[in-house]
Amino acid sequence: MTELRWLERPCRQGVTWGVPWARGAVPPGTPFALAGGVPVQSWTTATWPDGSVKWSAHAIGPQAAPAASYELVPGAEPAAPEEPVTVTRDGDVLRVATGPVAWVLSGTDLITSVAHGGTEIARGVRLVSLRQDTPDEDGSRVRTPYTGKVRRAVVEQDGPVRAVVRLEGRHVPDGTTGESAAEDPAEGPPEDASWLPFTVRLYFYAGAADVRVVHSFVWDGDASRDFLAGLGLRADVVMRDGLHDRHVRLAGAEGFLTEAVRGLTGLRRDPGGAVRRAQVEGRPTGGIGDPEVAGRLHLIPAWNDYTLDQGSADGFTLRKRTAPGHAWVTIPAGTRSRGYGYVGGTGGGLGFGLRDFWKLHPARLDVRGAATGVATATVWLWSPGAPAMDLRFWHDGLGQDTHSGQLEGLEITYEDHEPGFGDPHGVARTHELTLRACPATPPAAELAEYADLLQAPGLLTAAPGRLRAAGVFGAWSPPDRSTPAAAAIEDRLDFLTGFYARQREERRWYGFWDYGDVMHAYDPDRHTWRYDVGGYAWDNSELSPDLWLWYQYLRTGRAEVFRLAEAMTRHTGEVDVHHLGRWKGLGSRHNVQHWGCSCKQLRVSNAAYRRFFYYLTADERTGDLLDELSAPEETFLALDPLRKVRRDAYTPDPAALAVGLGVDWGALAAAWLTRWERHGDERARDRLLGTMADIAALPYGFLTGEARLDLATGRLDTTREAVEVSHLSALFGLPEICAELIDLVDMPEFERAWLDYCRLYLAPADRQAAEVGRALSGISMIQAHSRLAAYAAARTGDAGLARLAWRKFFHDEGDRLNVNPLQRESDWRLTEVRGPAVLMPVTEAPFVSTNDAAQYGLAAIQNLALIPGHLPDSP
């Protein structure tokens, strides 16, 4: 039995979550139930090598009075919901019934019809986009409207508690049918016929009146001539009520704009307090008894159109008009809209919204035609009121046309430039939206709850100790403040997560493409992060901040850490990775633009960074990203990561692909492992286990640095006898994935190869020379590598190694956070900067860079888990 608690607070919506199980504890096919008879739907998301359940996923529907906690019971039959969600297919028509609401999916729209209690609420739910031919700076422009056309619908789950339908398609110009679109929505038809391949998942829960919409699209335009001027989700809403019984609600920073299409408040003639209250509260106004008002209703303007435009993270504007062709009237503006709206009347209407609305600016909510028989509600993911999206590369190349010139540029701005490589083709973005069929205009308190649920969806979780007991994700442990030294490290870990959360807000790390990422390095002279300096700008998973945040969440269970990690996973898995085109499967190194760097590597698209979110939430979109890496080794055919610095004449050869045994193999192993445990994929298993054996067979194991992989066999050439060590090898998830593999697979020779690397990296030069013939060169990131020595100490019981690990963690050697030339270890603090030198008051910690923060976090977490008994009282 496992106790589940809410990440933040009990919520009344449908919820899906994941739970890990110790090896052998839960046999395959085991049912699950919730104590107390709450209906639950369960499935397996990963298995151990013996076939037992490693991760299970579960879903419950909306609860009128959700419990503070639940108990999940393996081996018990689940209760059935009173109103199960059902999916039926009749030819090309899908009908989903959740109890109160019937959803019909057919044709090329996302949803054809939505009815509540037999009354049609909305129809024609579809994607829309605007393609612009020039950037706004060029003056004249042509905007072409497009509509998303569904080409394929797949039912992934069909109840009884949860149903999921996946829809795939592309945007085609309005007035065309899209029949020419390719069957594979990722590849597409001829140039200009369509664009923006999308995947939309619709999530339905038993008893729910809403559908969760997860929309992902891939940018496949030409950045030099295609400018996205609008991207949105639109629905037609049936309007049956009298104009004074029709309502528009748009969320502000706290409450809602509360309007009627024909307002009865504020008039010269008073219709009566009961009428006014009813209209404001969204109830039927009934008969208007005063003939002075009733006889003049036709003289009261009807407001047809409304717009809330969130142009930045700091402000939105509001406006409305009576009809096209007439001027807009400005409504008092605000700061940060919660991105939720409603249009309809006392006889029913549609709620709609976008999660992280202001964080993903420019976003917009539109209502059009509220005074007609059919209104439209549009949630704009990119507002047509903003400048068109301009994805051209950010500079002219600065003459860096050769590899030698590019390496020179690397020395001054840290940007790894190469002509043509700053192309966004294939990058993606995912948004989460909601649609709700309402039988009447919801009261203000209900609307506020809907907005809150959208912005912070409920999640059930197991406690950190329970997660650790399952033996997942390698070496970590819950916080332990039992000694002053351990408490001091925990304080620093808390400092760092709090610091980045604060920096995201103060530095406005928000926006359509940017939200979720953090900056790489700081410029204390300008009191700003180096947003405009080559490779020092957006971090793009450099040195694994993703891993640091997820491990910190696992051990603390803190909601704010989860939300930081969640946003980063959503960003780095989509925006920093190419999902189609010549670099499909590869990610881009840190840059001013997320896709700007010519270093395209598997280290950024790394499955190790996505697995946490997938298993904890069972998020299918993240599962798609993991499935994109089903054969990650094939990406090495596309590009040699070391092409600019190689001294040999190597070119990618399918029979002998150069694979680094650190950054590269670590990412390959994470992808293969995930594929094996999720799908039972024997090919992935064989390549994982085979290359593990091959590394062990190399004369110097991991110290060899690089080996050649045969794509046909999936095996490494074991004849290489070189010794090459890179300071980056162990900084992109290799220690974490090796710890998992050693726990998972009984292969002593592989463990020995990894322990040799862990022992020797920080060993004295004479020890290194005695074992491998020469001292290792290129040793740096000393603090980060202390966790390797700690791992070897824990596995071998070597107390000397444990003392070495803590000494290297604390002492001032190389890149680290504990000590720097300007600051004592005890002086970790924030400095407030005000005045004419900054745009607005900010806090800074100039000694923090994301490289060092991430690696400090990982080293601290693993050292505390592996060798806590050797932690000195004072460093």
pLDDT in tens, 336-351: 999 999 999 999 999 9
Q: Which CATH class is domain 83-286+299-458?
A: mainly beta
- Which tokens in the block code for residue 740? 């998992």
Measured between alpha carbons, how far is 14 from 6 in angstroms, rounded to an integer? 13
Measured between alpha carbons, how far is 214 from 355 in angstroms, rounded to an integer? 10
Q: Is residue 182 predicted with pLDDT exceeding 70?
A: no
What confidence tens digit (pLDDT) does each residue in 774-823 have? 999 989 999 999 999 999 999 999 999 999 999 999 986 766 676 543 44
Judged on CB neighbours under 10 Å (0-12, 13-18, 19+), 774 is exposed
Which DSSP string corresponds to 812-828? Answer: --SS-SS-BTTB-GGG-
Q: How confident is the model at residue 183 (pLDDT cuts 50, 70, 90)?
A: very low
Q: Is residue 825 predicted with pLDDT exceeding 80?
A: no
What is the pLDDT averaged over residues 631-648?
A: 92
User: Which residues partner with 433 through β-bridges?
Assistant: 213, 354
| φ, ψ dihedrals at 733, nearest 5° | 100, 0
The pLDDT assigned to 648 comes to 85
The pLDDT assigned to 63 comes to 95
Q: How confident is the model at residue 45 (pLDDT cuts 50, 70, 90)?
A: very high
H-helix or E-strand spanning residue 789: helix 782-796
Q: Is residue 187 predicted with pLDDT exceeding 50?
A: no
What confidence tens digit (pLDDT) does each residue in 529-567 have? 999 999 999 999 999 999 999 999 999 999 999 999 999
| φ, ψ dihedrals at 756, nearest 5° | -60, -45
Helix/strand/coil (H, E, C) string of 829-866? CCEEECCCCCCCCEEECCCCCHHHHHHHHHHHHHHHHH
Q: Is residue 38 predicted with pLDDT exceeding 90?
A: yes
What confidence tens digit (pLDDT) does each residue in 79-126 have? 999 999 999 999 999 999 999 999 999 999 999 999 999 999 999 999
What confidence tens digit (pLDDT) does each residue in 405-419 have? 999 999 999 999 999
Given a contact cutoff of 8 angstroms between Cβ atoms, the answer to whether 320 and 303 are in contact is yes
Q: Is residue 188 predicted with pLDDT exceeding 70?
A: no
- Among residues of the chain, what percentage have pLDDT more than 70? 96
Going by C-alpha positions, the residue among 858, 363, 426, 356 that lies closest to residue 570 is 356
Q: Please state the domain extents for the chain.
A: 2-74, 83-286+299-458, 613-757
Residues in Cβ contact with 138 at an 8 Å cutoff, skipping those fewer than 6 apart: none
H-helix or E-strand spanning residue 563: helix 559-574
Q: Is residue 184 predicted with pLDDT exceeding 60?
A: no
Crossing angle of helices 620-627/663-679, nearest 10°? 120
SS3 at position 246: strand
Given a contact cutoff of 8 angstroms between Cβ atoms, the answer to whether 377 and 366 are in contact is yes
Query: For all residues of the chain together, what is the average pLDDT?
Result: 95
What confidence tens digit (pLDDT) does each residue in 487-531 have? 999 999 999 999 999 999 999 999 999 999 999 999 999 999 999
The pLDDT assigned to 386 comes to 97
Judged on CB neighbours under 10 Å (0-12, 13-18, 19+), 823 is middle
The pLDDT assigned to 178 comes to 52
The number of angstroms, rounded, from the C-alpha of 613 to the middle of its chain's C-alpha atoms is 8
What is the pLDDT averaged over residues 829-841?
A: 95
The pLDDT assigned to 360 comes to 98
The number of CA neighbours under 13 Å toward the Cβ of 269 is: 13
Q: How confident is the model at residue 192 (pLDDT cuts 50, 70, 90)?
A: low
H-helix or E-strand spanning residue 407: helix 403-413
The pLDDT assigned to 289 comes to 84
The pLDDT assigned to 493 comes to 97
Helix/strand/coil (H, E, C) string of 19-85? EECCCCCCCCCCCEEECCCCCCEEEEEEECCCCCEEEEEEEECCCCCCCCEEEEEECCCCCCCCCCC
Given a contact cutoff of 8 angstroms between Cβ atoms, the answer to whether 487 and 328 are in contact is no
Measured between alpha carbons, how far is 741 from 868 in angstroms, rounded to an integer? 22
Given a contact cutoff of 8 angstroms between Cβ atoms, the answer to whether 247 and 255 are in contact is no
Task: Tell me how far CA of residue 187 lies from CA of 144, 191, 605, 624, 632, in angstroms.
Answer: 21, 11, 20, 16, 19
Phi-psi region of 706 (alpha: psi -120 to 50; beta: other; left: phi over 0): beta
What is the pLDDT averaged over residues 285-296?
A: 91
Q: Is residue 839 predicted with pLDDT exceeding 90?
A: yes
Given a contact cutoff of 8 angstroms between Cβ atoms, the answer to whether 377 and 352 are in contact is yes
